[in-house]
Chains A and B, each alone.
Chain A
Amino acid sequence: EVQLVESGGGLVKPGGSLRLSCAASGFTFSSYSMNWVRQAPGKGLEWVSSISSSSSYIYYADSVKGRFTISRDNAKNSLYLQMNSLRAEDTAVYYCARDNDIVVVVAAFDYWGQGTLVTVSS
Protein backbone atom coordinates (compact mmCIF):
# COMPACT_ATOMS: atom_id res chain seq x y z
CA GLU A 1 0.00 0.00 0.00
CA VAL A 2 1.34 3.41 -1.00
CA GLN A 3 1.81 5.70 1.98
CA LEU A 4 3.04 9.27 2.19
CA VAL A 5 3.49 10.74 5.66
CA GLU A 6 4.40 14.40 6.09
CA SER A 7 6.02 15.85 9.19
CA GLY A 8 7.81 18.97 10.34
CA GLY A 9 4.98 21.47 10.36
CA GLY A 10 4.41 23.89 13.19
CA LEU A 11 4.33 27.52 14.28
CA VAL A 12 7.13 29.77 13.04
CA LYS A 13 7.65 33.53 13.12
CA PRO A 14 7.73 35.61 9.95
CA GLY A 15 11.20 35.47 8.44
CA GLY A 16 11.88 32.11 10.04
CA SER A 17 12.64 28.73 8.53
CA LEU A 18 11.14 25.26 8.61
CA ARG A 19 11.94 21.94 6.98
CA LEU A 20 9.16 19.59 5.98
CA SER A 21 9.67 15.89 5.39
CA CYS A 22 7.61 13.29 3.58
CA ALA A 23 8.29 9.61 4.28
CA ALA A 24 7.27 7.33 1.44
CA SER A 25 6.55 3.61 1.54
CA GLY A 26 4.79 0.92 -0.46
CA PHE A 27 6.39 1.76 -3.82
CA THR A 28 9.79 2.22 -5.43
CA PHE A 29 10.34 5.82 -4.37
CA SER A 30 13.39 6.35 -6.60
CA SER A 31 11.27 5.77 -9.72
CA TYR A 32 8.77 8.54 -9.20
CA SER A 33 8.72 12.32 -9.39
CA MET A 34 7.35 13.96 -6.28
CA ASN A 35 5.62 17.19 -5.40
CA TRP A 36 4.57 19.60 -2.69
CA VAL A 37 1.10 21.16 -2.83
CA ARG A 38 -0.32 23.53 -0.22
CA GLN A 39 -3.73 24.75 0.85
CA ALA A 40 -4.23 27.89 2.91
CA PRO A 41 -7.04 27.72 5.48
CA GLY A 42 -10.38 27.84 3.69
CA LYS A 43 -8.71 28.30 0.30
CA GLY A 44 -7.97 26.25 -2.79
CA LEU A 45 -5.03 24.08 -3.76
CA GLU A 46 -1.73 25.66 -4.82
CA TRP A 47 1.13 23.71 -6.40
CA VAL A 48 4.44 24.55 -4.71
CA SER A 49 7.25 22.48 -6.22
CA SER A 50 8.15 19.32 -8.13
CA ILE A 51 11.29 17.18 -8.30
CA SER A 52 12.07 14.40 -10.75
CA SER A 53 13.06 10.91 -9.65
CA SER A 54 16.80 11.57 -9.85
CA SER A 55 16.55 15.24 -8.84
CA SER A 56 17.60 16.27 -12.34
CA TYR A 57 14.55 18.45 -12.88
CA ILE A 58 13.17 20.81 -10.26
CA TYR A 59 10.33 23.30 -10.61
CA TYR A 60 8.93 25.97 -8.29
CA ALA A 61 5.87 28.18 -8.19
CA ASP A 62 6.77 31.84 -8.55
CA SER A 63 5.35 32.50 -5.08
CA VAL A 64 8.09 30.42 -3.41
CA LYS A 65 10.99 30.66 -5.86
CA GLY A 66 14.18 31.75 -4.13
CA ARG A 67 12.79 30.98 -0.67
CA PHE A 68 11.89 27.28 -0.78
CA THR A 69 14.11 24.35 -1.78
CA ILE A 70 12.80 20.91 -2.67
CA SER A 71 15.08 17.88 -2.31
CA ARG A 72 14.90 14.12 -1.91
CA ASP A 73 16.95 11.25 -0.53
CA ASN A 74 16.13 8.10 -2.48
CA ALA A 75 18.16 5.96 -0.08
CA LYS A 76 15.87 7.10 2.74
CA ASN A 77 12.66 7.15 0.67
CA SER A 78 12.14 10.73 1.73
CA LEU A 79 11.12 14.03 0.20
CA TYR A 80 11.93 17.39 1.77
CA LEU A 81 10.92 21.03 1.54
CA GLN A 82 13.24 23.60 3.10
CA MET A 83 11.28 26.80 3.65
CA ASN A 84 13.15 30.03 4.40
CA SER A 85 12.07 33.66 4.75
CA LEU A 86 8.60 32.51 5.68
CA ARG A 87 5.68 34.91 5.34
CA ALA A 88 2.18 34.96 6.77
CA GLU A 89 0.84 34.02 3.35
CA ASP A 90 2.80 30.74 3.49
CA THR A 91 0.44 29.55 6.23
CA ALA A 92 -1.16 26.40 4.87
CA VAL A 93 -1.47 22.66 5.04
CA TYR A 94 1.39 21.22 2.99
CA TYR A 95 0.80 17.95 1.16
CA CYS A 96 3.33 15.75 -0.55
CA ALA A 97 2.03 13.97 -3.63
CA ARG A 98 3.35 11.43 -6.13
CA ASP A 99 3.34 11.83 -9.91
CA ASN A 100 1.73 9.03 -11.91
CA ASP A 101 3.83 9.62 -15.04
CA ILE A 102 7.48 10.35 -15.77
CA VAL A 103 6.44 13.02 -18.27
CA VAL A 104 5.81 16.06 -16.08
CA VAL A 105 3.46 17.83 -18.49
CA VAL A 106 0.99 14.96 -18.41
CA ALA A 107 1.52 13.68 -14.88
CA ALA A 108 -1.20 13.74 -12.25
CA PHE A 109 -0.88 13.49 -8.48
CA ASP A 110 -2.08 9.94 -7.84
CA TYR A 111 -1.26 9.59 -4.15
CA TRP A 112 -1.32 12.25 -1.45
CA GLY A 113 -0.21 12.40 2.15
CA GLN A 114 -2.47 13.61 4.95
CA GLY A 115 -0.73 16.98 5.13
CA THR A 116 1.16 18.95 7.76
CA LEU A 117 0.11 22.40 8.95
CA VAL A 118 2.53 25.30 8.77
CA THR A 119 1.52 28.48 10.59
CA VAL A 120 3.55 31.65 10.12
CA SER A 121 2.67 34.17 12.79
CA SER A 122 4.33 36.41 15.33
Chain B
Amino acid sequence: QSVLTQPPSASGTPGQRVTISCSGSSSNIGSNTVNWYQQLPGTAPKLLIYSNNQRPSGVPDRFSGSKSGTSASLAISGLQSEDEADYYCAAWDDSLNGRVFGTGTKVTVL
Protein backbone atom coordinates (compact mmCIF):
# COMPACT_ATOMS: atom_id res chain seq x y z
CA GLN B 1 0.00 0.00 0.00
CA SER B 2 2.88 2.37 -0.80
CA VAL B 3 1.60 5.87 -1.49
CA LEU B 4 4.99 7.23 -2.53
CA THR B 5 6.03 6.23 -6.05
CA GLN B 6 9.62 5.53 -7.04
CA PRO B 7 11.09 4.06 -10.24
CA PRO B 8 11.75 0.33 -9.75
CA SER B 9 15.33 0.58 -10.94
CA ALA B 10 18.16 2.93 -11.76
CA SER B 11 21.69 2.28 -12.92
CA GLY B 12 24.96 3.91 -13.81
CA THR B 13 28.63 3.26 -14.29
CA PRO B 14 31.20 4.03 -11.60
CA GLY B 15 31.67 7.77 -11.24
CA GLN B 16 28.35 8.69 -12.81
CA ARG B 17 25.54 10.59 -11.16
CA VAL B 18 22.27 8.77 -10.52
CA THR B 19 19.02 10.42 -9.44
CA ILE B 20 16.02 8.69 -7.86
CA SER B 21 12.62 10.35 -7.76
CA CYS B 22 9.89 9.99 -5.14
CA SER B 23 6.42 11.21 -6.04
CA GLY B 24 3.77 11.82 -3.42
CA SER B 25 0.87 14.13 -2.70
CA SER B 26 -0.11 17.19 -0.69
CA SER B 27 -0.85 15.06 2.37
CA ASN B 28 2.66 13.60 2.62
CA ILE B 29 5.61 15.10 0.73
CA GLY B 30 3.70 18.29 0.05
CA SER B 31 3.37 19.08 3.75
CA ASN B 32 6.07 17.09 5.55
CA THR B 33 9.77 16.36 5.35
CA VAL B 34 11.22 13.45 3.40
CA ASN B 35 13.71 10.85 4.58
CA TRP B 36 15.74 8.39 2.53
CA TYR B 37 16.98 4.94 3.48
CA GLN B 38 19.57 2.65 1.93
CA GLN B 39 19.23 -1.10 2.25
CA LEU B 40 22.24 -3.15 1.24
CA PRO B 41 21.52 -6.79 0.27
CA GLY B 42 20.65 -8.91 3.28
CA THR B 43 20.93 -6.10 5.80
CA ALA B 44 18.66 -3.76 7.76
CA PRO B 45 17.87 -0.36 6.25
CA LYS B 46 20.11 2.58 7.12
CA LEU B 47 19.16 6.26 7.34
CA LEU B 48 20.75 8.12 4.44
CA ILE B 49 19.01 11.52 4.33
CA TYR B 50 16.61 13.14 6.80
CA SER B 51 14.62 16.36 6.77
CA ASN B 52 14.77 16.50 2.96
CA ASN B 53 18.48 17.18 2.65
CA GLN B 54 20.36 16.48 5.88
CA ARG B 55 22.99 13.77 6.08
CA PRO B 56 23.58 11.85 9.31
CA SER B 57 27.19 11.77 10.42
CA GLY B 58 29.15 9.18 8.49
CA VAL B 59 27.09 9.41 5.30
CA PRO B 60 29.32 10.52 2.40
CA ASP B 61 28.52 13.87 0.80
CA ARG B 62 28.09 12.01 -2.50
CA PHE B 63 24.52 11.51 -1.32
CA SER B 64 22.18 14.50 -1.45
CA GLY B 65 18.45 15.04 -1.15
CA SER B 66 16.03 17.67 -2.34
CA LYS B 67 12.30 18.35 -2.29
CA SER B 68 10.01 20.43 -4.46
CA GLY B 69 6.25 20.50 -4.07
CA THR B 70 4.96 16.95 -3.83
CA SER B 71 8.14 15.28 -5.11
CA ALA B 72 11.57 14.55 -3.72
CA SER B 73 14.83 13.31 -5.18
CA LEU B 74 17.91 11.49 -4.02
CA ALA B 75 21.10 12.03 -5.97
CA ILE B 76 24.18 9.86 -5.83
CA SER B 77 27.20 11.50 -7.42
CA GLY B 78 30.44 9.67 -8.11
CA LEU B 79 28.63 6.33 -8.07
CA GLN B 80 30.59 3.52 -6.43
CA SER B 81 30.14 -0.25 -6.46
CA GLU B 82 29.22 -0.21 -2.78
CA ASP B 83 26.22 1.99 -3.59
CA GLU B 84 24.47 -0.99 -5.17
CA ALA B 85 21.41 -1.29 -2.93
CA ASP B 86 17.70 -0.62 -2.58
CA TYR B 87 16.70 2.94 -1.76
CA TYR B 88 13.44 4.03 -0.12
CA CYS B 89 11.90 7.44 0.48
CA ALA B 90 9.53 7.99 3.40
CA ALA B 91 7.36 10.70 4.90
CA TRP B 92 4.53 11.29 7.34
CA ASP B 93 1.09 11.28 5.75
CA ASP B 94 -1.44 13.64 7.33
CA SER B 95 -4.43 11.87 5.80
CA LEU B 96 -3.38 8.39 6.89
CA ASN B 97 -2.01 9.70 10.20
CA GLY B 98 1.03 7.52 9.81
CA ARG B 99 4.30 6.97 8.02
CA VAL B 100 4.49 5.93 4.39
CA PHE B 101 7.36 4.46 2.42
CA GLY B 102 8.13 4.67 -1.25
CA THR B 103 7.95 1.63 -3.50
CA GLY B 104 11.73 1.35 -3.51
CA THR B 105 14.40 1.70 -6.20
CA LYS B 106 17.10 -0.84 -6.90
CA VAL B 107 20.34 0.84 -7.93
CA THR B 108 22.72 -1.21 -10.04
CA VAL B 109 26.31 -0.23 -10.72
CA LEU B 110 27.18 -1.39 -14.21
In the assembled complex, A27 has its CB within 8 A of some CB on chain B = no
Which residues of B, 66-104, contact A by the 8 Å Cβ criterion?
86, 88, 90, 92, 94, 96-104
B residues within 8 A CB of A110?
Answer: 47, 50, 56
How many residues of chain B have a CB within 8 Å of chain A? Answer: 28
Once the chains are docked, how many angstroms separate the CA of A61 from the CA of B103?
16
Contact across chains for B32 and A106 when beta carbons are under 8 A apart:
yes
Contact across chains for B44 and A61 when beta carbons are under 8 A apart:
no
A45-B45, A113-B44 known; A105-B92 Cβ under 8 A: yes
Least Cβ distance of A47 to chain B in Å? 4
What 0/1 readout, one digit per residue, does chain B (47-68) give for beta carbons within 8 Å of chain A? 1001100001000000000000
Q: Which residues of A contact B (CB under 8 A)?
A: 35, 37, 44-47, 50, 59-63, 95, 100, 104-115
